């Protein structure tokens, strides 16, 4: 008889699961960084921190989850982001038990924003669909913006200007380890961009937009100034520009032949409204 149990990850388990993810999934991410994924800086929104496999006292598998409440057309929608998945090879036969434990929480919309390898095909068998992740790789130019445009990453200035849901996004993510923030202003109009410094082929040279608030039209009009800010203030010479996130197609650039899959399961949020906040993309630097 199998001694492997499927259990929810409670706060008391976070340290052991963080150590497991560091040792077995990605040693480049520190134990403390994995622990912060399991304890995000926003208000409690879920019943656990994901699910784990235990063989006696030993963690042999984990599927970390990040929960949030998103507002869609004025109504709260509970979301479960599948954030990090790892099972030791000798226990792979129990992987399906782990996944089913998560998906049995039927009140949630599920997102998987960085699936890799055979996880994509497995997700499709489990009812996930792919989001449109069409991406252009664009160069961030050393361009001086016009005098009427203000572009800033100052947290105090951002908090003073943002309103409504954007203000809540900033409060929730100002201490998220991977989230960076840019405010664009022209007159009384603003655009708010949350992005991460992203690594491809072992090079952390790419800005990956996670969310756009305020005026997407202003962001489009001042896109060159924003890209200049990403280069000069953050040292990122390229942007991975996804039309679905930005709200417009970036001019010039090279279309990626095989952009990273982004996936969703459930109908509570229109695909066009699924962003990358409240997820491992905002919480973990890799």
CA distance 150 to 190: 9
DSSP class of 32: H
Q: How far is CA 217 from CA 4, 37, 239, 271, in A?
A: 53, 33, 18, 20
The pLDDT value recorded for residue 144 is 67
Cβ proximity of 13 and 51 under 8 Å = no
The pLDDT value recorded for residue 1 is 46
Q: Which residues of 223-248 are buried (b: 16+ CB within 10 A; e: fewer)?
A: bbbbbbbbbeeeebbbbbbbebbbbe
What does pTM read for this prediction?
0.95
Main-chain dihedrals φ then ψ at residue 102, nearest 5 degrees: -65, -50
Task: Give percent helix, percent strand, percent coil of the chain, each to the nearest 5.
Answer: 30, 35, 35
Task: Give the closest residue to 126 by CA, choosing from 268, 264, 273, 7.
Answer: 264
The pLDDT value recorded for residue 251 is 86
User: Helices (H) and strands (E) in the chain — how many of each?
Assistant: 10, 14
pLDDT by position in tens, the chain (length 286): 468 999 999 999 999 999 999 999 999 999 999 999 999 999 877 999 999 999 999 999 999 999 999 999 889 999 999 999 999 999 999 999 999 999 999 999 999 999 988 899 999 999 999 999 999 999 999 976 667 899 999 999 999 999 999 999 999 999 999 999 999 999 999 999 999 999 988 899 999 999 999 999 999 999 999 999 999 999 999 999 999 999 999 888 999 999 999 999 998 899 989 999 999 999 999 8
**Residue 170 structure tokens:** 């900033």
DSSP 213-253: EE-HHHHHHTHHHHHHHHHHHH---EEEEEHHHHSSPPSSS
The pLDDT value recorded for residue 2 is 66
């Amino acid at each position: 008889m199998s001694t492997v149990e499927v259990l929810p990850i409670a706060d008391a388990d976070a340290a052991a699961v963080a150590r497991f993810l560091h040792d077995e999934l990605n040693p480049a991410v520190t134990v403390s960084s994995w622990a912060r994924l399991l304890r995000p800086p926003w208000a409690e929104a879920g019943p656990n921190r994901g699910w784990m496999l235990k063989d006696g006292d030993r963690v042999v598998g984990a599927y970390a989850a990040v929960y949030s409440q998103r507002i869609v057309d004025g109504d709260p929608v509970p979301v479960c982001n599948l954030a990090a998945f790892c099972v030791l090879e000798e226990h792979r036969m129990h992987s399906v038990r782990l996944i089913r434990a998560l998906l049995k929480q039927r009140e949630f919309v599920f997102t998987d924003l960085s699936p890799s390898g055979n996880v994509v095909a497995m997700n499709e068998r489990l009812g996930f669909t792919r989001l449109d992740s069409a991406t252009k790789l664009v160069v961030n130019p050393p361009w001086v913006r016009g005098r009427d445009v203000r572009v800033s990453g100052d947290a105090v200035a951002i908090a003073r200007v943002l309103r409504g849901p954007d203000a809540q996004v900033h409060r929730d993510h100002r201490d998220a380890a991977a989230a960076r923030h840019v405010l664009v202003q022209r007159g009384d109009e603003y655009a708010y961009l949350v992005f991460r410094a992203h690594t491809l082929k072992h090079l952390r040279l790419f800005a990956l937009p996670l969310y756009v608030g305020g005026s997407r039209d202003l962001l489009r009009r001042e896109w060159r100034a924003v890209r200049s800010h990403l280069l000069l203030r953050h040292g990122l010479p390229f942007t991975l520009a996804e039309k679905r996130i930005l709200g417009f197609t970036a001019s010039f650039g090279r279309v990626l032949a095989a952009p990273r899959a982004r996936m969703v399961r459930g109908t509570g949020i229109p695909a066009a409204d699924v962003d990358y906040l409240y997820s491992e993309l905002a919480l973990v630097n890799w």
